Structure 1
């Protein structure tokens, strides 16, 4: 599944959250997604679509979370921009409602 293009690349992280978890990374070193050019963001989105297709073929997930941590307060610990593609599976957590809202547990339920 890892792949490289002129503007981005993908890899399987050292500590995957679920089977098929992948990272999409721009080649140019910037800490924030907001510092990327439009062309670099588009290259990441093209890579995201490619990796999603490969993950679906291999792992058959029931859904996905896509996320980017920007800044220390948002949980960023590696200060080279990267996007997470996290496959989700029915029953992988007790209550899946709220999805990415779970980054602030008290705000997850609505």
Structure 2
């Protein structure tokens, strides 16, 4: 079994941390500032964590979002979880994506995360 990349994090990549979770920039960012919030306990799903650890992870999401707004001038975000292989999770350690969004980074951002299934994303065009 290979080592979990989120259990062996290079501390130089950590941008924020708490007793329960760390925040680090994504190694393959979708946009500048793309950050992962990673709970310290090794669990596959965020929902395998205690309620206290879940809350601590979401508190760190809030801190990362605030920092991106202040440091990068960002005003919009996609924040989400890939929970399970069918949902696109590739690393079996729970984590939350904070993805800063900017004007013009895609032609039409409407639908946001709904675009994971493109044929169903444009609900505003349905008769």
- Both proteins in one fold, TM over 0.5: yes
TM-superposition CA deviations, 1:44-73 (whole Å, max 9, x none): 111011111111111112310001001110
| Count of aligned residue pairs for this structure pair | 110
CA distance in 2, matches of 1:83, 1:61: 18
**Unaligned regions of 5+ residues in structure 2, if any?**
1-13
1:74 equivalent to 2:66? Answer no
TM-score normalised by length of structure 2: 0.83
The 5-angstrom pairing of residues 13-24 of structure 1 reads: 13-24=26-37
Bigger Cα Rg: 2
The 5-angstrom pairing of residues 30-49 of structure 1 reads: 30-49=43-62
Runs of 4+ in 1 over 3 A off after TM superposition: none
TM-score normalised by length of structure 1: 0.96
Asked if 2 retains the 8 angstrom alpha-carbon contact of 1:62 and 1:90, the reply is no
